[in-house]
Amino acid sequence: MRSKSEIICQLLDPGIIAVVRAKSTDQVIPLTEALLAGGVIAVEITMTTPNAIEAIREASQKFGTRALIGVGTVLDVLTCRLAIEAGAQFVVSPIMRPELVNVAHAADRPVMLGAYTPTEAQMAYEAGADFIKIFPADGLGPNYIKALRAPLPQLRMVPTGGVDLHNVEDFLKAGCAALGVGSSLISQQILRDANWLELTRLAAEFVEAARNAR
């Protein structure tokens, strides 16, 4: 079993966290296979995926040490516990839920709390969050991250929403620890068509862009 520090290291390299909002549980396994083939190992299965806990369990059992299977859109302690019991290796909330920190850390799992403002970001850090999810980031952009890091350099920020191949470099050079990538990687069309080859191609492009930016 990986330790929290080992999981954090793997989340940072290459620093692309795939945010999965699958239409069915059946899509999660082939989708994860496709991401892994492209070099993306961090897979955040959101609770908006049907039967998300079971999907996390199946993916964790199948991929073992090959992937980092996490849980996203966690809004309460019970969901956090159930997901960790199912095998989730990291926990992500889109909002500031300090009570998730103790649950995740008790299981030696890193946790990412959501924030939008500087005050929320600092509060998440003081609550013990390992990462701060800047969400939604599509209206903010890399310059916001740069401005935030000037007075708050201690924050390990992960913008989610609005991250695409054109701004990966800008976000990382602005000081982001990693990037949460959703529909620009796992598009609705890819899910509709089950076009896993296209997903692998896109995943490889994101990984290359991230490595080049480092």
Annotated active-site positions, please? 44, 133
What backbone torsions phi and psi does residue 139 show, to the nearest 5 degrees?
-95, 0
Burial class (CB within 10 angstroms; exposed 0-12, middle 13-18, buried 19+) of 151 = exposed
- Sign of the Cα torsion 177, 31, 29, 56 reads positive
What residues have CB less than 8 Å from 39, skipping those under 6 apart? 14, 203, 204, 207
- Name the residue among 75, 92, 152, 145 with its Cα closest to residue 119: 152
What backbone torsions phi and psi does residue 142 show, to the nearest 5 degrees?
-60, -35
CA 33 to chain centre: 17
Alpha-helical (H) ranges within the chain are: 4-12, 28-37, 52-63, 77-86, 99-106, 118-126, 142-149, 168-173, 188-193, 196-213
The residue behind tokens 């966290």 is 17
